[in-house]
């Protein structure tokens, strides 16, 4: 194995008896990751259970109760490696009563394996786990269509299951989905290609796992170092923690939150005190600062121009894990977030989510075991946090019962909580299901002259020609009317995005596809619009028009770059103002993507 081979964390998902444990056993067995004594033990137990072949599922079903019942109850972790990559697999339970186990097992995964029985197709639990994988922000998903041997290795059946999942996945936020037909029992297309499915032209599962690109999944843009421990030794004073985002280097200016005091990174040390020239996630480091500051556990180091939110009110999605209590408004709990610990009060339960139908029960009054819902929380001390979509480490938390010390919920921060409304929303008589078409918002972001408007015009033309209502909200056009009162400061840009986002949401709610072509340079502003759409149950598709600044500058149809270079325009994105690209857009389009019509067709394809 290559030194420093990249680690990939996997989580299995899917309904019970679809073959998750057998698949993991097959991966371990065929990749020669089982020791001789383990294999002997496995053969012995398989014979004792009366089987006529090696029961590979027993490799992960290690607990006694699991063996007796023949199912996975707890989360079983296994490690193995190939010459190309190291792997940690979390085998999560398939039964609905162990949903909380699936959530905790998948919470740190880079990739989810959704195992589907080719005979039964997509079952309720398969849909539930796929949705939970999306909710947990797992960026890659592989649908393993298993037990192909029981459907006569049928290409048609594989295509049916694939089409069924693709229809369901249009409602999820997963950027990368792959499909592999296989038989975990016989080993076809798990580690080696299967000769009995010559119609399948893709790679076997292990090859895909070795090659899937995960380096760009890490947030290297927003520097975050939650302080876990203050190291004092003689004159040495350093701040130890795990880098949760971005890049730190000696000489960088940093700010300590929530206090807001600033300093400079004097040195960074890795394990054993090794000096480091750069630190990035998920490295464990100790940082020394140039100034003697009062920094303590729970504080966060970041860059002065790139700060997480600091506040006491957040909107969050939580999965209730407690089996002896329920979440109810008014409940007081302990909130553990990163290295911070504070008390929190549940201000309100917005809705309970049916993770199978995605129906939102706004009349729900509590969350019980395994139930998921959106809540508003008020913390007793300021919380230094990001949204979960921006950073899974600084956007997640757990809730602990104050009296029993039991972990009762896992949560993901969605957005800052709004103040208590004084205006009550009026409910219309016409529901979304009553309308003839289904709306959505397509948000095209990128630098000035990237080609957003040109592309949006063609997308609108193709949609209308196909009979689907669509309307273009172009950045320049809205500046001439709706947002004519706004300038180009960061605050005005945020308000510009907010207003356009609200209009787009109304269009989408009416059954129209809202096409927004807007530079919208700040990720936080775009994420806020996405969160508003998610809250309303409306699709939000972010398309990153990734045209390099030098190409945009060469086009420069309005002469803006030239004016910015001459100093006549201040705060121009790409010249003297930053642009924050999306971390996980639904689609990335580049200039070599085949022309405007072809690129527009790819956008239209997202809406299929």
Which residues are CB-contacts of 414 (< 8 A; sequence separation ≥ 6)? Answer: 314, 315, 316, 317, 374, 387, 388, 531, 534, 535
Helix axes 596-606 and 452-465, enclosed angle (nearest 10): 60
Phi first, then psi, for residue 248 (nearest 5°) are: -120, 140
**Distance between CA atoms of 560 and 30, rounded to whole angstroms?**
59
Q: Which residues pair with 261 in a beta bridge?
A: 256
Q: At what angle do helices 124-135 and 99-106 cross, to 10 degrees?
A: 40
Does the annotation list 567 as a binding residue? no
| Angstrom distance (rounded) from CA 331 to CA 543 | 40
Annotated binding residue 449: yes
Rounded CA-CA distance 273/153 in Å is: 56
Phi, psi of 572, rounded to the nearest 5 degrees: -85, 125
Whose tokens are 């096409």? That residue is 515
Distance CA(346)–CA(326), nearest Å, equals 12
Helix (H, G, I), strand (E, B) or coil at 94: coil
- Where do we find the tokens 């206090």? 259
Residue 520 is a catalytic residue: yes
Q: Which of 15, 21, 338, 520 is catalytic?
A: 520
The DSSP H or E segment spanning 14 is strand 7-14
- Confirm or deny that 446 is annotated as ligand binding: yes
One DSSP character per residue, 404-448 reads T--EEEEEEEEEEPPPPPSSPPPPPSS-GGGSSS--EEEEEE-ST
147 known member of a binding site: no
Q: Which two tokens stand for residue 559?
A: 């002469």
- The annotation status of 450 as a binding-site residue, yes or no, is yes
* Residue 228, burial from CB neighbour count under 10 angstroms (0-12, 13-18, 19+): middle
Strand pairing of 236-242 and 229-233? antiparallel
CA 274 to chain centre: 33
Q: According to the annotation, is 452 in a ligand binding site?
A: yes
Q: Is 447 annotated as a binding residue?
A: yes
Distance CA(578)–CA(276), nearest Å, equals 27
The SS3 of residue 318 is strand
- Cβ atoms of 417 and 381 closer than 8 Å: no
The contacts of residue 146 (CB under 8 Å, 6+ apart) are 18, 19, 23, 115, 116, 117, 118, 182, 183, 184
Q: Is 304 exposed, middle or buried (0-12, 13-18, 19+ CB in 10 A)?
A: exposed
**Closest listed residue to residue 8, CA positions, set 151, 213, 158, 232:** 213
523-536 helix and 490-509 helix, angle to the nearest 10 degrees: 20
Q: Which of 79, 1, 71 is nearest to 38 (CA)?
A: 79
What number of H helices and E strands is found in the chain?
Answer: 14, 26
Residues annotated in a binding site: 446-453
Return the active site residues.
520
* Known binding positions for ATP: 446-453
């Amino acid at each position: 194995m290559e030194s420093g081979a990249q680690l990939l964390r996997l989580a299995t998902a899917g309904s019970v008896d679809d073959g998750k444990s057998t698949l993991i056993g097959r991966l371990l067995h065929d990749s020669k990751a089982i020791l001789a004594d383990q294999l002997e033990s496995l053969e012995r137990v398989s014979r004792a259970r009366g089987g006529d072949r090696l029961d590979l599922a027993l490799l992960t079903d290690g607990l006694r109760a699991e063996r007796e019942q023949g199912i996975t109850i707890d989360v079983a972790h296994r490690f193995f490696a190939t010459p190309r990559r190291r792997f940690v697999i979390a085998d999560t339970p398939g039964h609905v009563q162990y949903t909380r186990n699936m959530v905790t097992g998948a919470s740190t995964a880079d990739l989810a394996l959704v195992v589907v029985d080719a005979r039964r197709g997509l079952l309720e639990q398969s849909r539930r786990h796929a949705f939970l994988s999306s909710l947990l922000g797992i960026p890659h998903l592989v649908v393993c269509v298993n037990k192909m041997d029981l459907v006569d290795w049928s290409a048609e059946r594989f295509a049916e299951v694939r089409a069924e999942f693709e229809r369901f996945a249009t409602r999820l936020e997963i950027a990368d989905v792959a499909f592999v037909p296989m038989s975990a029992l016989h080993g076809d297309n798990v580690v080696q290609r299967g000769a009995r499915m010559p119609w399948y032209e893709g790679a076997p599962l292990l090859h895909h796992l070795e090659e899937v690109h995960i380096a760009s999944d890490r947030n290297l843009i927003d520097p975050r170092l939650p302080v876990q421990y203050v190291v004092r030794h003689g004159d040495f004073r350093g701040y130890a923690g795990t880098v949760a985002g971005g890049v730190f280097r000696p000489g960088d200016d940093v700010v300590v939150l929530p206090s807001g005091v600033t300093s400079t990174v004097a040195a960074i040390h890795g394990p054993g005190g090794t000096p480091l020239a750069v630190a990035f996630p998920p490295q464990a480091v100790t940082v020394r600062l140039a100034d003697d500051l009062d920094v303590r556990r729970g504080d966060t180091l970041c860059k002065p121009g790139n700060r997480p939110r600091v506040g006491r009110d957040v909107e969050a999605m939580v999965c209730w894990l407690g089996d002896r209590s329920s979440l109810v408004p008014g409940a007081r709990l302990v909130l553990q977030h990163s290295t911070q610990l504070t008390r929190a009060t549940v201000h309100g339960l917005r809705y309970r989510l049916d993770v199978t139908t995605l129906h939102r029960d706004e009349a729900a009054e509590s969350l019980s075991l395994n139930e998921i819902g959106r809540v508003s929380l008020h913390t007793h001390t300021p919380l230094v946090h990001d949204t979960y979509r921006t950073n899974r480490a600084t956007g997640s938390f757990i809730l602990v019962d104050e009296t029993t010390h039991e972990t009762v919920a896992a949560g993901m921060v969605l957005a800052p909580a709004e103040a208590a409304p004084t205006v009550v929303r009026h409910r219309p008589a016409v529901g979304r299901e009553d309308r003839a078409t289904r709306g959505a918002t397509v948000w095209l972001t990128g630098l000035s002259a990237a080609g957003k408007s040109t592309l949006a015009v063609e997308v609108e033309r193709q949609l209308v020609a196909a009979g689907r209502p669509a309307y273009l909200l172009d950045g320049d056009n809205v500046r001439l009317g709706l947002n004519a009162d706004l300038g180009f400061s960061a605050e005005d840009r945020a308000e510009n995005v907010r207003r356009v986002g609200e209009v787009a949401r109304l269009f989408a709610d009416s059954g129209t596809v809202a096409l927004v072509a807007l530079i919208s340079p700040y990720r936080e502003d775009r994420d806020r619009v996405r969160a508003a759409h998610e809250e309303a149950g409306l699709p939000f598709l972010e398309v990153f028009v990734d045209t390099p600044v030098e190409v945009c500058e060469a086009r420069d149809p309005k002469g803006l770059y030239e004016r910015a270079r001459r100093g006549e325009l201040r705060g121009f994105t790409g010249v003297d103002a930053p642009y924050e690209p999306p971390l996980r857009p639904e689609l990335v389009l580049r200039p070599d993507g085949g022309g405007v019509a072809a690129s527009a067709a790819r956008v239209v394809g997202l809406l299929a």
